[in-house]
Amino acid sequence: MEKDEIYLGSHVSMNAPEFYLGSVKEALSYGSNTFMFYTGAPQNSIRKPLSELKIQEGRKLIKESGIEELKLIVHAPYIINAANYSKPDLYELSINTIVSELRRTYAFGAKIMVLHPGSHVGMGAENGILALAKALDTAFACDGTDVKIAIETMSGKGHEIGITFEQVKEIIDKCKYPERLGVCLDTCHINDAGYDIKNDLDGVIEKFDKVIGLDKLLVVHVNDTKNPIAAHKDRHENIGYGYLGFDVLYRVVHHPRLKGIPMILETPYINEKAPYKQEIEMLRSGKYIDNWRD
Ligand code: FE
Ligand code: FE
Ligand code: ZN
C-alpha cells in the first residue's frame, strides 16, 4: 500500500484514568494519523506529574498503530504571555512555564510545541516582539531539549503580536536560537488577520514562503472561521459552516506545497460531541456532506 502523505488529526483531550493512552485512543477513533494535545489544562499551568500520565502506554499504542511521533504536536497553555515585561513576575512565570512545557513535551516523545506569541498589552508590537524573543532565548538556553517551538499566527484581536508573517519572521530573527523556532499557521487566524486564503490560497502560501520560508512551517491548524476576512476576531467554525468553506480547507489539506506538514483541527464541539471523525473523513476524501452537522 502506498504511504499516506497527508497527516491529519485534531486536538484531543487527556483525562483520568487513561491520560495519554486515552488521548491516543481518542485520536485513533477519529481516523487520525496525527494529533495535538495539552500536557494538562489549556487554561492554567497546574500539571500532574509525568509519572501519572500513562506516557509509556500511550507511546506503545502510537508505535503499534503506525503514527509518526515526529508529527505529534503539543500546545502550550494559553496563560503564557512572554510578549510583555511590564510585570516582571508574570514575565518570569511565563518563561518558567515555557521551559517546563518544553521538558514535558520532550518526555512525551514529541518534538513540536505550539506557542501563542502573546500580547504586548500597550507596550507596542516592536517591544512585544523583543520581549518574546528574549524570553525564548532564556528558555532555549536552559531547557535541555531539542523540542522546537512553533509560533502560532494570530488573528489580531486586542494587543496580540504575531499577526503578520513579517512579525513572525522578526520574532524568529531576533531570537538567538532560530533553528529551534518554526511556525504554526492557523487558517481561521490568518483569514481574520487579513490574508485572503479564500480567493488566493496559492498567493498566501507564496507570500509565507517569501517572508518566512516554507521550511519553517511546522504545523497547520485547519479551522473554518465565523468571521469574514480581516475581522480580527478568532472564532473557529466547523468545516464547511464558516466564511472559508469546505473547498478552501480541502485545498489547504491537500496542497502540494504543504505536503508532510501535520494538519490539526480545532473546530468547535457540536452538542458536546467532537466533530472530528466526520470532518477528517470529508477532508481526506473530498466528499462533502451537505448539512452534515444537523
Ligand atoms: Fe492555538
Ligand atoms: Fe490554532
Ligand atoms: Zn484560534
Segment 242-293, tens digit of pLDDT: 999 999 999 999 999 999 999 999 999 999 999 999 999 999 999 999 999 9
Ligand showing the shortest atom-to-Cα distance for residue 115: 1
| 75 beta partners | 114
Cell of 205: 502560501
Report every protein residue that has its C-beta within 5 angstroms of ion ligand 3: 234
Q: Tell me the pLDDT tens digit for each residue of 182-226.
A: 999 999 999 999 999 999 999 999 999 999 999 999 999 999 999
Which tens digit of pLDDT belongs to each residue from 47-74? 999 999 999 999 999 999 999 999 999 9
Contacts of 138 (CB under 8 A, 6+ apart): 95
Span from the CA of 35 to the centroid of ligand 1 (angstroms) = 13
Tell me the pLDDT band of 5, cut-offs 50, 70 and 90.
confident
116 C-alpha to center of ligand 3: Å?
A: 10
Question: Strand, helix or coil at 197?
Answer: helix
Convert 234-265 to b/e letters by CB count within 10 Å (16 or more is b).
Answer: bbbbbbbbbbbebebbbebbbeeebeebbbbb
Segment 100-106 mean pLDDT: 98
Ligand 2 midpoint to CA 43 (Å): 14
**Residue 1 pLDDT > 90:** no
Cell of 107: 518526555
pLDDT per residue as tens digits for the range 142-170: 999 999 999 999 999 999 999 999 999 99
Residue 117 CA, ligand 2 centroid: distance in Å: 12
Q: How far is the CA of 134 from the centre of ligand 2 (A)?
A: 23
1: CA distance to ligand 1 center in Å?
34
| pLDDT the model gives residue 3 | 52
Position of cell 501535520?
Answer: 262
Q: Give the number of whichever ligand sits closest to the CA of residue 186.
A: 2
The residue-averaged pLDDT of 5-15 equals 96
Distance 57 CA to ligand 3 centre (A): 31
Distance CA 172, CA 176 (A): 8
Q: Phi/psi of residue 267, each to 5°?
A: -80, 160
Predicted confidence at residue 150, as pLDDT, reads 99
- The H helix count followed by the E strand count for the chain is 9, 10
Rounded distance from Cα 111 to ligand 3 centre (Å): 22
Cα of 62 to ligand 1 centre, how many Å? 23
- Ligand 1 centroid distance, CA of 2 (Å): 32
Q: List pLDDT tens digits, range 128-140.
A: 999 999 999 999 9
pLDDT score of 105:
98
Q: Which H helix or E strand runs over 96?
A: helix 88-107
Helix H or strand E encompassing 271: none
Q: How far is the CA of 210 from the centre of ligand 2 (A)?
A: 22
Percent of the chain scoring above 70 in pLDDT? 99
Mean pLDDT computed over every residue of the chain: 97
